[in-house]
Amino acid sequence: MGSGQMVAVFGAYGHTGRFVVAQLRERGFVPILSGRDAGKLQALAASYPGLEARPASVDDPGSLDRALAGAAAVINCAGPFATTAAPVIEAALRAGIPYVDVAAEIEANVDTFAHFTDRARAAGAVIVPAMAFYGGLGDLLATAAMGDWSAADEAHIAYGLSNWHPTAGTRAAGKVSRERRDGRRVRYANGRLEYRTDNPPTLKWPFPEPMGTREVIGEFTMADVVTIPSHLSIPEVCTYMAIEAARDMSDPDTPTPAAVDERGRSAQTFLVEVVVRSGGSERRAVASGQDIYAVTAPLVVEAVDRILTGRTRTVGVASAGEIFDAPDFLRALSPHITLELHP
């Protein structure tokens, strides 16, 4: 448990940030509420008497230093991460504390590995990008499915979402990513990221029951193509998205998530199936649950708890599957996800 340690949450008033603040409190941490909008911070602080609000801007390093003062770690929930990740990481390095974010932006995560790996390792610092539903969960599942394999030929991550009502932050991050790619799509093949202008394929994926076989968009590429190859020797990593969810995401009129329970979760359900193949052998891992934004909170808070209690395997910039014991981490999420491992 958090034992009263303070954890700064940058972007605390955002959709995912609010879930993270609630989960930190549930785990015994004391969140420091931070972000760019002082008014939204004060409104959030009013619902949590006793929590401190510390406005900060990525354009003002001094404000970030003040926001992180006394914190044991910082969680960055404020996208687009192309703008926020580097300044908040710099502030964490100055403060000498771990940095964890929930970035789903492929290019932002590539930048974090490229720009901070050497410095973080030299400093003995811990930086974990993409510790979220996209990027973190798929990496943990793939790592757990690998078992004793040191390499595989290919990894497939299939997302069976009942729907996808994107937040404003998701839409903003997607816009930035599209601009950085000049409208191209991306996939991970032949051991590298490839940018393409053709349309992705439409396929069928045999999800486990009760979901069953569904139409999916193939090469609907998510942050798993950064996290998994960062530490696993797999030259082909492909992600798939249920066609209903892909259509929701592409429709500008799709509404934002609506709460249906006391925890603020939406009615959205998900099933993530990971298949790794080596030669003629295949191994699988499956996770299911409710609300992709809500489930990011226990993922990122579990990560912070493990970092602060020394349950890590490396330092520097590392993805979830590299720095944590993947099967043990996934089992710890049992209140939030249903897990099946078939290594």
pLDDT bucket at 235, cuts 50 / 70 / 90: very high
Mean pLDDT of the chain, nearest integer: 96
Q: What is the pLDDT of residues 298-330, one digit of tens each?
A: 999 999 999 999 999 999 999 999 999 999 999
Residue-level pLDDT at 342: 82
Residue range 174-186: mean pLDDT, rounded: 92
By residue count, the chain amounts to 343
Residue 142 dihedral angles phi and psi, to the nearest 5°: -65, -40
Q: Is 113 helix (H, G, I), strand (E, B) or coil?
A: helix
Buried b / exposed e across 138-149, counting CB within 10 Å, b at 16+?
bbbbbbbbbeee
Helix-helix angle 15-26:292-308, to 10 degrees: 50
In this predicted structure, the answer to whether residue 134 has a pLDDT above a threshold of 70 is: yes
In this predicted structure, the answer to whether residue 225 has a pLDDT above a threshold of 90 is: yes
In this predicted structure, the answer to whether residue 91 has a pLDDT above a threshold of 70 is: yes
Percent of the chain with pLDDT over 70: 99
Residue-level pLDDT at 3: 75
Residue range 129-144: mean pLDDT, rounded: 98
Helix, strand, coil percent values for the chain (each to nearest 5) = 40, 25, 35
Q: Are 188 and 156 in contact (CB under 8 A)?
A: no
Q: What is the pLDDT of residues 260-284, one digit of tens each?
A: 999 999 999 999 999 999 999 999 9
Residue-level pLDDT at 2: 63
Residue range 146-165: mean pLDDT, rounded: 97
> ω into residue 80 within 30 of 0, thus cis?
yes
Domains of the chain (ranges plus CATH)?
6-132+296-327 (3.40.50.720), 134-292+337-342 (3.30.360)
In this predicted structure, the answer to whether residue 1 has a pLDDT above a threshold of 70 is: no
pTM as predicted: 0.97
Residue-level pLDDT at 227: 98
Q: What is the pLDDT of residues 30-79, one digit of tens each?
A: 999 999 999 999 999 999 999 999 999 999 999 999 999 999 999 999 99
- As a whole number of angstroms, the distance between CA 81 and CA 83 comes to 5
In this predicted structure, the answer to whether residue 341 has a pLDDT above a threshold of 80 is: yes
